Amino acid sequence: MGGSFEPPLRVQRCVEPGEGKVWALIIDLRSDTVTRPTSVMRQAMAVAEVGDDVYGEDPTVRQLEQRAADLAGKEAGLFVPSGTMGNLVAAMTHLHPGDELFAEAEAHILYYEQGGCARLAGAMPHPIRGQAGRFSGADLRREVRPADLHFPRPGLVAIENTHNRSGGEVWTEAETNDVLTAAHELGLATHLDGARLFNAATALGVSAAQLASGFDSVSICLSKGLGAPVGSVLCGSRDFIGRARRNRKVVGGGMRQAGVLAAAGLAALSDGVAGLADDHRHAAQLAEGLAALPGLQVAAVRERTNMVMVDVDAPAGLWVAQLKAADVLVNAVSPHRLRLVTHLDVSGPDVEKTLTVFAKLAEEATRWS
């Protein structure tokens, strides 16, 4: 086949078919997972040096794993296809079947992963009801029961930073250290679900390694704010990662010439972190503009990252449909709450257009049945 193909960097919709086609850009604010690989990522993938990763022979995967581990302040890393698998493999490695896994009640590991830790790791989930996705060391101490043959053994506490269900809320170093201190006193292993850890680090002006310090393991997602098409890296001690590698294999995460994917992850770690500040600025602009519109209530956060939660009077599903008709995609996360997520494919003009669309719909929403 002759010629070359350059995929579009943005999703478009044809609004006027025919010879003189007119296209409208789709503004996709459903998640930061919807980004298209950058030209730098595509080039890196095209020329990546590869080998069979299950045999430990893929040099690009090895480079990515060590780079992610260094950024997290850990000894070693393990490339996995998704953040969900990273959390699952961490739980399988830390816990014995029947052990308790403590996490905030709406943390991703409990809320969005189909109970995988219970189904596949054999863990007993123990939700802790927090505030804005956070809980304290005192909360953890209250939830851990004394040793008794009737009770499951307490095994692991997991923290999600940033916290998805709370609109990208950030845990500070002091807050995580408070929980870590309690966990260590109680003999618990500790895991950081750092799917958006670099967003938290950017918001607080600290390094990812500072926020991951003290945790036995940390999972970093490459395919959210950093923009890679696939993958996460689970990081920890060399011994932990050695054991985790076996668990990755048993859940089907052993990949072959995965350096093609790892190359994009390396580019994301190199180039993607710097762009997160722009994502946060765009989210703040959205939050300010939406808060000024009638019938909309923007959920407050201490540190704005790349998410905006908006409460609406009319059914959220109706808002989603009306916004989609105007080429703006958002998610409904509850019957009357919308979530908007900024990312590297969202520009300043996209934010302005989104606010214009919301303003028009806000005037109409009072008439929606």
Report the distance separating Cα 292 and Cα 42, nearest Å. Answer: 40
- CA-based nearest residue to 225, from 345, 120, 318, 134: 345
pLDDT higher than 50, residue 2: no
Tell me the average pLDDT of the chain.
Answer: 94
CA count, 13 A, side-chain hemisphere, 89: 33
Answer for the pair 155, 99: CB distance below 8 angstroms, yes or no.
Answer: yes
pLDDT higher than 70, residue 190: yes
User: 20 in helix, strand or coil?
Assistant: coil
Report the distance separating Cα 69 and Cα 88, nearest Å. Answer: 18
**Strands 100-104, 124-128: pairing kind:** parallel
Looking up tokens 């086609």, which residue turns up?
A: 21
Give the per-residue pLDDT at 5. Answer: 36
Mean predicted confidence (pLDDT) in 317-343: 97
Report the distance separating Cα 272 and Cα 235, nearest Å. Answer: 19
Q: To 10 degrees, the CA torsion angle through 244, 249, 250, 252?
A: 130
Residue 287, Ramachandran bin (φ over 0: left; ψ between -120 and 50: alpha; else beta): alpha
- CA-based nearest residue to 24, from 32, 35, 13, 16: 13
pLDDT higher than 50, residue 310: yes
Give the per-residue pLDDT at 306. Answer: 98
pLDDT band at 15 (very low <50, low <70, confident <90, very high): low
Give the per-residue pLDDT at 47. Answer: 98
Domains of the chain: residue spans and CATH: 12-37+275-365 (3.90.1150.10), 39-272 (3.40.640.10)
Report the distance separating Cα 107 and Cα 127, nearest Å. Answer: 9
220-233 residue pLDDT tens: 999 999 999 999 99
Sign of CA dihedral 171, 172, 175, 177: positive
Report the distance separating Cα 16 and Cα 24, nearest Å. Answer: 9
Helices 39-46 and 259-267, axial angle in degrees (round to 10): 150
Mean predicted confidence (pLDDT) in 135-156: 97
pLDDT higher than 50, residue 313: yes
pLDDT band at 369 (very low <50, low <70, confident <90, very high): low
Give the per-residue pLDDT at 23. Answer: 52
Give the per-residue pLDDT at 215. Answer: 98
User: 100 in helix, strand or coil?
Assistant: strand
pLDDT band at 25 (very low <50, low <70, confident <90, very high): confident
C-alpha triplet 168, 172, 176: angle, nearest 5°: 105
Helices 348-365 and 276-291, axial angle in degrees (round to 10): 20
Residues in the chain: 369
91-139 residue pLDDT tens: 999 999 999 999 999 999 999 999 999 999 999 999 999 999 999 999 9
pLDDT band at 368 (very low <50, low <70, confident <90, very high): confident
Report the distance separating Cα 355 and Cα 139, nearest Å. Answer: 40
Give the per-residue pLDDT at 244. Answer: 98
Looking up tokens 């044809």, which residue turns up?
A: 14
- CA-based nearest residue to 161, from 118, 218, 240, 214: 218
Report the distance separating Cα 201 and Cα 28, nearest Å. Answer: 24
Answer for the pair 344, 272: CB distance below 8 angstroms, yes or no.
Answer: yes
pLDDT higher than 50, residue 178: yes
pLDDT higher than 70, residue 14: no
Is omega for the bond preceding 162 within 30 degrees of 0, making it cis? yes
Report the distance separating Cα 302 and Cα 253, nearest Å. Answer: 37
191-215 residue pLDDT tens: 999 999 999 999 999 999 999 999 9
H or E stretch at 283: helix 276-291
CA count, 13 A, side-chain hemisphere, 134: 21
pLDDT higher than 90, residue 340: yes
Map 175-201 to HEC letters: HHHHHHHHHHHHCCEEEEEECCHHHHH
